[in-house]
Amino acid sequence: MNEAINGIARRGGADRGPVFGVLPAGTANVFANEVGFANRPDRAARQLLEAEAARIPIGRFQELGREPRHFLLMAGIGLDARIVYELDAGLKNSIGKLAYWHGGIRQLGRPVPRFCIEVNGAEYQASFALVTRVRNYGGDFEIARRVRLTDSDFEIVVFSNNRWQDYLRFFAAVVLKRLERTPGVAMLRATEVRVSAPEDQRIYVQTDGETVGHLPATVSIAPNAVNILLPRRFVEARRRELALAS
């Protein structure tokens, strides 16, 4: 999915690219869970026949000195990106999502370096940041709570603490849906973030579950970048939300 999005972006985006439909068959199927497609490709294929095309923004990751990389769902900076970078591909093929839990357990006791993230002119020190277009994370959890794939900006979750007991508290707050009231957590909205790292530390970045590089970097919105097929129920529900908000 991420490779297809990047191909469309390189060809000129929504104005010149094709209408893009997804048959979910990945490890976590975050996109399918987010918008309401079935996780079985045969059922999702039937849903695509009645889906509605929507022109939506996507994310753009720009590492200093390299070609930009686009993403549909999210960019993770810090701890989760290090887990993805060190993930055993063979183990992932064998046990699926459990490989990420295994990778997380391997991080226990290791120091988690901080980095600086600038959002709307304010600077935050963080050990983990999620710059996301979706609520769903990893197929099982919601970290961001208010963003939708059709929105024109990101929801940004910044976690500043870096002790393991703080991460256990952070995880509990995610499960209990109390993240907004958790000390050390900032939840923000923006169309661009700038992220830098200490000179003696390499801080990794993942987009849509794939390692894409490291800091320093900029993450920004590429507006109206792709025409994507979404379940009609999802599109209609979003229209109702926007009508009520106005």
- Sorted by where each starts, the structural domains of the chain and their CATH numbers stand as 2-245 (2.60.200.40)
pLDDT-above-70 percentage for the chain: 94
More confident residue, 34 or 91: 34
Predicted pLDDT at 167: 81
Task: Please say if the pLDDT value at position 140 is more than 80.
Answer: no
Predicted pLDDT at 144: 93
Q: Are strands 52-63 and 69-71 parallel, antiparallel or unpaired?
A: antiparallel
C-beta neighbour count of 147 within 10 angstroms = 19
Predicted pLDDT at 133: 96
**Is-contact 126 117, C-beta < 8 A?**
yes
Phi, psi of 40 (to 5 degrees): -90, 125
Task: Please say if the pLDDT value at position 98 is more than 70.
Answer: no
Q: Among 15-19, 37-41, 233-237, which stretch is predicted with the lowest mean pLDDT?
A: 15-19
Q: Give dist(CA 54, CA 14) in Å, integer.
A: 10
Q: How far is CA 22 from CA 5, 11, 38, 177, 229, in A?
A: 11, 18, 11, 29, 8
**Is-contact 218 195, C-beta < 8 A?**
yes
223: preceding bond cis by omega (within 30 degrees):
no
What are the DSSP E strand ranges found in the chain? Answer: 19-20, 52-63, 69-71, 74-78, 115-119, 122-126, 128-132, 136-137, 141-142, 154-159, 185-190, 192-196, 204-207, 210-214, 217-230
H or E element, residue 8 = helix 2-10
Predicted pLDDT at 239: 80
More confident residue, 171 or 186: 186
More confident residue, 106 or 35: 35
**Is-contact 59 74, C-beta < 8 A?**
yes
- CA 36 vs. chain centroid, Å, equals 17
pTM: 0.90
Q: Are strands 19-20 and 217-230 parallel, antiparallel or unpaired?
A: parallel
Q: Whole-number mean pLDDT of the chain?
A: 88
